[in-house]
Amino acid sequence: MIIDKVNDILNSHSSNTTLIELCSYIKKNIHRIPQLTIDDISKESLISKGQVSKCIRRLDYENYEEFKNACIEYLDLITKRKSFKNPHQTFETNVMYFTKDIIKNIQYTINHIDLKLIQKLMEDIKNANKVYLYAHGDVRSVCYNMQRELQIYDIQTIICDSDFNKDYRFLDNDILIVLSTNGNSFHYNKRIIKRIRESNVDQWLITCNKHITLCQNQVIIPLLDEKYSEYIIKYIIDILLLELQN
């Protein structure tokens, strides 16, 4: 996802470069980019057109059109975010209904998920030399929580870059865990799917979308109501991490 790439660049570079300047511009103006030409961006950002094109390729887009489509994809996804708040209800009433619904949805998931498969994944994590985590969008934040928790127990954990572009040197006892709430990010970027499938490493996929077939091992999270998918997948990760406390 474009915003993940931009954040990766901004978080990992301290010195001011043309790429940093363009990423800062993209982050501030991503809502406008679908209406802008590459010349518009060059003029507004005070970066030459040639340098803009070069930076776009460094973000792993072949051309400006592909970059603009990635911005459109991101904007499309955030406009589809579910709203849980009823503006005609009080804050207290909204909290009550949300809590009631989320408990009902969690209970449904726990009653229908294969907990033995989650235990198997946790055993693989405990026995791994290194754990690699990969995700896009909102669920990417879960990777940072997993990394923090796993490192408490001396389990080496690496969060893969948002394009899965780096040359990761997987060893025989490493595992790669891919998180995807609904698979939309993979739908938009077939190249990432190809890179993951071609990686010579034991792989696990955790997703709420039963129609995705990506990794050798998959944990499919059953849902009662799809609008709670992001909350449920985070809950399942918390359940997974409980095993570390044994």
> Taking 90 as the threshold, does the pLDDT of residue 32 lie above it?
yes
How many residues does the structure list for the chain? Answer: 246
* Region 82-86 average pLDDT: 72
**Sign, Cα dihedral of 222, 224, 227, 231:** negative
Percentage of the chain exceeding pLDDT 70: 94
Q: Helix (H, G, I), strand (E, B), or coil: what is residue 127?
A: helix
135/32 Cα distance (integer angstroms): 26
Confidence band for 35, pLDDT divided at 50, 70 and 90: very high
Alpha helical stretches, state H, 84-228 = 91-112, 115-127, 140-152, 184-188, 190-197
> Taking 80 as the threshold, does the pLDDT of residue 246 lie above it?
no
What are 169-197's pLDDT values in tens digits? 999 899 999 998 877 666 656 778 888 88
- pLDDT confidence of residue 77: 72
Confidence band for 216, pLDDT divided at 50, 70 and 90: confident
90/98 Cα distance (integer angstroms): 12
* Region 160-169 average pLDDT: 85
Pairing assessment for the beta strands 202-207 and 157-159 based on DSSP bridges: unpaired
| Residue with the larger pLDDT of the pair 228 and 84 | 228
- pLDDT confidence of residue 16: 81
Any idea what DSSP says for residue 160? P
Whole-structure pTM value:
0.73
> Taking 80 as the threshold, does the pLDDT of residue 52 lie above it?
yes
Domains present along the chain, CATH in parentheses: 2-79 (1.10.10.10), 96-245 (3.40.50.10490)
238/233 Cα distance (integer angstroms): 9
User: Can you tell me which residue has the tokens 């693989």?
Assistant: 124
